[in-house]
Structure 1
Amino acid sequence: PAAFHDSQERDPPPRCLEGTRIAILKDIYDWISTSNEQILWVSGPVGSGKSAVAQTVAEACAQDKILAGSFFFLHGAQGRDTPDRLVASISYQIVTKIPEKRKELGILIERDLSILHKPLLFQFQNLVIPLFDTTPKIPVTSSCPPKPFLVILDGLDECADEKKEQDVVRCIGDILNASLIPLRFIIVSRTELHIRRSFDRLTSKVHNINIHTSYFPKFNSKEDNDIRTYLRHEFNRIYDEHELNEEEYWPNNHTMEKLIASSGGIFIYASTIIGYVGDPDFHPVERLNEILNNNTPLKSTPFSELDHLYRRILRLHKDQELLLCVLTVL
């Protein structure tokens, strides 16, 4: 349950602020309602807001009663940094949507108590596909497809094992090839080479939306900017919660533009600033000034978590010698 989109452990989850990410959300909803493809891969770099998009879509689909299940991976979180519990979680969520299948799932597990320790593909074949055996066999390419049951997997790259990440993509492709189950998958991850290669083998049934290349914020334009909207909303919240008596428009426009430019279109940078400035144990104006003047105390640097994240990404690079050469040049 900790990996579900509505789990208590993830509360409050990251989600898109109302009025932001409009273009990408529209494209995802259009894919859900009109596309014949069974897999949507939403990709983008670290910090681009992928999980917030996945959460927002999951909540909307749950409200529309078309969400079969969700699984939000997280590096270092027990049970969420591996796909070992993925099939069990998805099959459990499916039977909550189809109550008459609960007994059948129980029988499937009782028949082989070791099934949850079997290979991923075997679990999909024996715990997910049988739940749809009595579903009318209408191909998703039919002119009258069934209302799709969506499975949303976020943060696939957060698994601790690259091979298992590839196994997830391969297994999903295999079960969709071998059966006509009315499932469609939205898989969200960074654009890692091994993950991209896994999807390349499934090009006939995969649509890719890249958050960064297709929806990069257009700064210094009259168009609405998502990061500007997010920062203004959060600073207003901090202003109210701390009952500040600063100038009426805090922070001023010059400061806002400086922060937006520094973010470079990366949401995690903006959210890190908000987390640091909004700490209830400190004065927000002083904390923001520390960031602007680049004189934050060493032990409380606002970007320590961000530094940790990028260090982990760099450690995962296979050719450390080449990486060192590149970083030296930079």
Structure 2
Amino acid sequence: MSSHFENARNVNIEGITNISANNYNLNHYSERSSETSIDKLREHIAAGALHNSAERYDAPKCHPETRVAVQDEVVSWISDGDSDDVPKEIMWVTGPAGSGKTAIMGSVGDTCQGKGILGATHFFSSFSGPANRRSKQYFVPTLAYQFVQHKAMSQVAAQILSAVEDNPAIFEQNLEVQLDQLILEPLRACRDRPPLPEWPKVILIDGLDECEADQYHDTARSDVSPRSKEDDHTEILSVLKKAASDPDFPFRIVVASRPEHAIKHFFTDVAKSLIRELFLDAKYNPDADMELFLESKFASIRRQCQLPSSWPATVGRFMEGSSGDPDELLKQVLRLPVQIHASVFSGSM
């Protein structure tokens, strides 16, 4: 019996191209499909929001001698929080502007990566980098992309890429739909394959308060109220709460932000049962941190300039024992050549 496909070559069947009728190379099609999916996903992430991105190369990090207590607190909770009397799924690191939240989160990210427990990060920023670092629309895809890249999560990665292939419009849908299709459903699909010991343990999110409002309508219309950034903050927190409450979600979440009203309300009222709050106040002894920082910097200067160990304490005594304007006295000290610095403040002159 003859066939319409007898001796056929380069048959095009439902998107499968360049396939010999005698040898359907379905693996090739699958590979091309995966490549397309990861390219689509890559187009919708905020690459600069990753803690180790080139964009954040000069971002603040904690000096090795400072913020030791708070870093230990966060990393200990990530690693061993299940043993707490009342385990919590989310830690909220908060404090006023200038309290070092971003530096702490950057350093914690480095530590967790070194320990192999870092799953994903997202560092929002309202003043540096492209606009995608201050938009909620890139948030979930950025986390999903990092799971795809994680060597220990290959099974989940395949499910995420399949979800993108099945629904390329996922990136235009709301955060809850994105969370379900790009993260929760892929994790559920692997529920019969429990997380391996080398699976990561934590997601770090910094600067939530710097996420700005996305508008979906003509803001010039008088009959529609502009969306506020608080609305977007609450939407992000809502999906984090949903994720943390899901039994198939294996990660702890650390969120750092200023204690703005909408964020504080959500954490202290809506999601109170899930939250462990860490407020950066005097409990973590910032004065001692500053002293350690200055001592370390002075020691570095002494080594570089071959100054005696009494420097700069002798400078302080000189300024205290002299009359006159302190700024001018310091200028006098700074104008001295390095060789004179060494001899004057060692007491040999």
TM superposition score normalised by structure 2 = 0.63
Q: What count of residue pairs does the alignment treat as equivalent?
A: 249
Q: 2:209 aligns with which of 151, 157, 170?
A: 157
| 2:260 maps to amino acid | E
Distance 2:309 2:77 in 1: 45
Q: 1:166 aligns with which of 231, 234, 238?
A: 234
Alignment of 1:5-16 (within 5 A): 5-16=51-62
Q: Which residue pairs with 2:8 in the alignment?
A: none
Q: Which residue pairs with 2:40 in the alignment?
A: none
| 1:59 maps to amino acid | D
| 1:17 maps to amino acid | H
Q: Which residue pairs with 1:267 in the alignment?
A: none
Q: Which residue pairs with 1:233 in the alignment?
A: 296
Contact 1:96 1:102 in 2 (8 A): yes
| 2:211 maps to amino acid | C
Q: Which residue pairs with 2:49 in the alignment?
A: 3
Query: Within the alignment, does 1:249 sit opposite 2:304 as a pair?
Result: no
Q: Which residue pairs with 2:122 in the alignment?
A: 71
Instruction: Identify if the C-alpha distance between structure 1 residues 167 and 62 changes in structure 2 by more than 3 Å, giving closer, same or farther.
Output: same
Give how far 1:231 is off. Answer: 2.8
Instruction: Identify if the C-alpha distance between structure 1 residues 175 and 15 changes in structure 2 by more than 3 Å, giving closer, same or farther.
Output: same
Distance 2:276 2:260 in 1: 16
Contact 2:188 2:248 in 1 (8 A): no
Query: Within the alignment, does 1:45 sit opposite 2:126 as a pair?
Result: no
| SS across alignment from 2:49 | coil
Deviations 1:144-200, CA, capped at 9 Å, x for gaps:
x99662000011111122221121111111233344310210000111111100112
Distance 1:154 1:238 in 2: 33
| 2:134 maps to amino acid | D
Instruction: Identify if the C-alpha distance between structure 1 residues 148 and 106 changes in structure 2 by more than 3 Å, giving closer, same or farther.
Output: closer
Distance 1:100 1:137 in 2: 11
Contact 1:148 1:184 in 2 (8 A): no
Give how far 1:34 is off. Answer: 2.6
Alignment of 1:1-330 (within 5 A): 1-32=47-78, 33-35=80-82, 36-77=87-128, 78=130, 79-97=132-150, 98-136=153-191, 149-160=201-212, 161-200=229-268, 201-217=270-286, 219=287, 225-235=288-298, 237=300, 249-250=311-312, 254=316, 285=334
Distance 2:204 2:334 in 1: 39
Distance 1:214 1:247 in 2: 31
Instruction: Identify if the C-alpha distance between structure 1 residues 185 and 246 changes in structure 2 by more than 3 Å, giving closer, same or farther.
Output: same
Distance 2:334 2:232 in 1: 45
Distance 1:182 1:13 in 2: 29
Give how far 1:57 is off. Answer: 1.1
Contact 2:81 2:88 in 1 (8 A): no
Give how far 1:216 is off. Answer: 4.0
Instruction: Identify if the C-alpha distance between structure 1 residues 197 and 285 changes in structure 2 by more than 3 Å, giving closer, same or farther.
Output: farther
Distance 2:277 2:316 in 1: 37
Distance 2:239 2:314 in 1: 51
Unaligned 5+ residue runs, structure 2?
A: 1-46, 213-228, 321-332, 336-349
Instruction: Identify if the C-alpha distance between structure 1 residues 103 and 137 changes in structure 2 by more than 3 Å, giving closer, same or farther.
Output: closer
Give how far 1:111 is off. Answer: 1.5
Contact 1:14 1:51 in 2 (8 A): yes
Give how far 1:47 is off. Answer: 0.6
Larger Rg: 2
TM superposition score normalised by structure 1 = 0.66
Deviations 1:308-328, CA, capped at 9 Å, x for gaps:
xxxxxxxxxxxxxxxxxxxxx
| SS across alignment from 2:233 | helix
Distance 1:215 1:246 in 2: 32
Deviations 1:232-262, CA, capped at 9 Å, x for gaps:
3345556777x6989972486749xx9xxxx
Contact 2:94 2:279 in 1 (8 A): yes
Give how far 1:59 is off. Answer: 1.1
| SS across alignment from 2:168 | coil
Q: Indicate the percent of aligned positions where both proteins have the same amino acid.
A: 25
Deviations 1:85-105, CA, capped at 9 Å, x for gaps:
111110011121213433322
Distance 2:81 2:315 in 1: 41
Distance 1:213 1:192 in 2: 20
Contact 1:129 1:179 in 2 (8 A): no
| 1:198 maps to amino acid | F
Distance 2:245 2:302 in 1: 54
Instruction: Identify if the C-alpha distance between structure 1 residues 175 and 191 changes in structure 2 by more than 3 Å, giving closer, same or farther.
Output: same
